[in-house]
Chain A
Amino acid sequence: MEQKNELFTIEGYTDEELFAHVDHSALESEKITAPRYSYWRSVFRVFFRKKINLVILGILALLLLFTYVYPALVDYDPFANLMDSTAKHLTPAQAFEKFGASIHWIFGAGASGQPTFDAVWFGARISLSLALICAAINMTIGVLLGAVWGFSKKFDIFMTEVYNIVANVPYTLLIAVLVLVISPSFWTMVFALTVTGWMAIAYFIRTQVIIIRDREYNLASRCLGTPITRIATKNILPFMTSVIVTMLATEIPSYISYETFLAFIGMGISDMSLGRLIGAAQSAMLTPGWGFEFWSPVLVTAVLTISLYVAGQNLGDASDPRTHM
């Protein structure tokens, strides 16, 4: 009794002031309460539980800052030193000596005397924008049509045949022809990468939808008369979130890869993207002293794609509700 008083009384207050009497309610006692659960809050809780994710997000933030903010702040003219033969293929030390120590020259100078550091970030802006736009378009169309594809049996028969045919047309050929037909600009490349790019995503989503569609709980839901749209949005979409996020994680780096590949084979866009930088500086790889102009775009691409990929994969893991326990 003595103990209880110590625990439950707060000095200066009486029991009457601290507690109010609540009547028994038959209706309230029927309600089942559960801990408050917010899906996205749980996702981020699980995501930030891993400390490595903070590091990767930090790297990613820095990269994005350089990719989008840095080019807006500096003046970059790749041909400013074109006529100066002593300004070409410089190591950072030589560039510092020639132009004075500044952030522009920490990767040295390239084949036309341009600061490699600036070239890399201007290139990264183009490559990353291309990847983000293509991923956004392909994911939107792919997920929406994939869902319809999975639900409608008639559409499935038709689309599967279309998919079998389109998957056999060499992708390189399709893109090359499109780039040749319409001039090789940024938006042409977006068009070329998205015109059939959504199909693989849609096919993947279709398979996932078919797996989940026929589960018992959805059968039960249908028996209870739930409309298809409600089943799609409430029963199936939550299941798909982690799949979609995981896919997004592989999609974005894959467009950067693809752009690099196309630039390497000489079918890339006319802008100086990361891929074209790598392709153009390829011959400098094994030349002593010229390594910087080749390795810096390769490394920036690698760090960019790896951090995007890992962050996306971990977000995908975190968005699976089964990890929220």
Chain B
Amino acid sequence: MKQYLIKRILRSLVSIVIVVAIVMILIYSLLNRDMIFAQDPMYTKVSNNQQVIYKYRNWKNYGYIDYVPYTDWLQDLCNKGEIDEETRRAAASFGRKPENDSEIVTEYIAKFEAYCAENGYTVQRLNAVTNRKKLAPGGAQQLFAYRDRSLLLRLWTYFSGLIQVDNIHNVEDPEFDGERKLSFTWKDPAYGGEKFSPAVMGNGTTHKYLLYCTNKFPFIHQNLLFLNLGKSYSGNNKDQDVYEIMTTTQGNWVQSVITYPTGLVENSADDLHTAVYVAGSLEGNPVLQDRFTDNYTSTQTVKDSFSRIGYSFVIAIISTVLAYLIGLPIGLWMALKKDKLIDKIGTAYIVFITAVPGVGYILMFKAAGAALGLKTTFQMTEANSNISYWVLPIVSLALPWVASLMRWLRRYMIDQMNSDYVKFARSGGLSENEIFRKHIFKNAMIPIVHGIPGAILGAMAGAFITEKVYTVPGIGGLLINAINQYDNGVIVGVTLFYATISVVSLILGDVLMSLVDPRINFTAKAR
């Protein structure tokens, strides 16, 4: 079994990589690159050569190409010490047209072209756009090089940077002083330094707190490992990491009395445990100087509601439990009373849910809920204390689950009822109740058990229609909004997340099934 699992996990990892590769091909090679500017107001504001540069710069940001302007290349040479500042300045001032270049410029441009040819870049020079000898708006001359990123390189950079471990060499600030080290304390200074609360703190790390305890689930928190799924480049979450978008709490600020490192005690929503190093932030900033003693000044705020993934997970987990609690007994009952009234009503419900589009029945349900006086528009802060906001999303999500559980349990039960071992048990004098409970139900549950890990893990993926209809700030819309906004980083990150969930739940489902039913053996050779 162990060997089988290891092989299975390895195969799954390969298939996850291939899925990400397919998605990368889809979005980076097949999608029309100019589409990302369709809704971009900045794009229409810039003109002439500036527009071309804007395009290439954004393509670089979205991860389509590698892009090197000539001046950056010179600056790079200068930083490496190959040329001095004066030469750089002289070489950088290239003419409006190639004919106007000075000697030194011609020489360095030739070097630039050679460098580009060597590394597979394409050089492009845009002559100045002039209007009666004057530069037209955005018409300055440009010289740059670009190359398409290859799929393998892209995959490699993505997966090699996927898990980032915070370490004491992370801060790259030339002015960083102090010893780079990790320290352990029993009494967390964020609580005033008197309360017992162990914490691991770092100096030279990106985060100040690497491990710490709070009174919130799961009580021990970490900043040590970071899942770098990708970055958002457009839309509401611009410049945020996908992982952050998923896990950052939302809602209103919650203020509490906190003790800053300087000893200042204040009512604030800052969460000192999330402090991140920002180079040079303390200098010349009296507000921060009052509070912080080092450059770990950027904190997130404590908010009163769940994160995106939190909302999706809570709603989905409750509705899944609800669905199993309702769907299984009804499915059982339908199988017991086959062809009676309850079976017919249940079948009608199953037909309705299977045949009517999800959008249709959820909207029907919303109207019914509104008529009952339930809240149809989710409000984050109010929902913390008012259960009425949660009822409709949870029940709507449970509806199709209940139908599918009813349908399959009924099917499996009826199949088992006709099998020989049941007839044998009956002829042996077992009571109907005993046959049902100990024989039929146990066997019928095996395929149902297979779906449980998928149901739990799938809860994290969110439900798009339900969340959109009731405006729940969950994770379900992340992928679709990202597609609509050409947010490539988010698309790849979310795909990886979904693919991992589905692969893991399949493996767990198989393991759980073989635990429940010892007859199922994955290692035995197929006959």
Contacts and interface: CB of A to CB of B under 8 A. Distances in A.
Interface of A: 161, 164-165, 167-170, 172-174, 176-177, 180-181, 250, 253, 256-257, 260-261, 264-267, 275, 278-279, 282, 285-286, 294, 298, 301-302, 305-306, 308-310, 313
Given A165-B22, A168-B499, A181-B30, A285 B360 contact: no
Contacts of B16: 168
A282 B31 CA distance: 30
Contacts of B503: 168
B355 A308 contact: yes
Contacts of B358: 257, 260-261
Interface in B397-425: none
B351 interface: yes
Sorting the interface of chain B by its residue count into under 10, 10 to 19, 20 to 34 or 35 or more gives 35 or more
Given A168-B15, A177-B31, A306 B352 contact: yes
B362 to A, nearest CB: 10
Contact of B498 (A165, A170, A298, A308): A170
Contacts of B18: 165
Interface string B468-496: 10000000000110011000000100110
B465 interface: yes
B357 A257 contact: yes
A282 B464 CA distance: 16
B363 interface: yes
A285 B370 CA distance: 11
B31 A173 contact: no
Contacts of A173: 23, 26, 479, 483, 491, 495
A298 B366 contact: no
A310 B479 contact: no
A170 B355 contact: no
A301 B357 contact: yes
Contact of B360 (A165, A170, A174, A298): A298
Interface string B22-44: 11001100111001000000000
A305 B483 CA distance: 29
Given A301-B360, A309-B351, 4 more contacts: A161-B15, A169-B19, A278-B357, A286-B367
B356 interface: yes
18 contacts: A161-B15, A165-B15, A168-B499, A169-B495, A170-B494, A173-B479, A177-B31, A180-B483, A260-B358, A260-B359, A261-B357, A278-B357, A286-B376, A298-B363, A298-B364, A305-B356, A308-B355, A310-B351
A170 B491 CA distance: 10
B170 interface: no
A310 B11 CA distance: 41
B379 interface: no
Contact of B354 (A168, A172, A177, A250): A250
A314 B468 CA distance: 35
A130 B300 CA distance: 49
A176 B483 contact: yes
A302 B360 contact: yes
Given A173-B495, A301-B360, A164 B465 contact: no
Nearest to B491: A173
A180 B35 contact: yes
Contact of A278 (B360, B376, B499): B360
B141 interface: no
A265 B23 contact: no
A282 B18 CA distance: 38
Interface string B308-336: 00000000000000000000000000000
Nearest 5 CB-CB pairings of A with B: A257-B357, A309-B355, A260-B357, A305-B355, A168-B499
Nearest to A297: B360
A168 B14 CA distance: 12
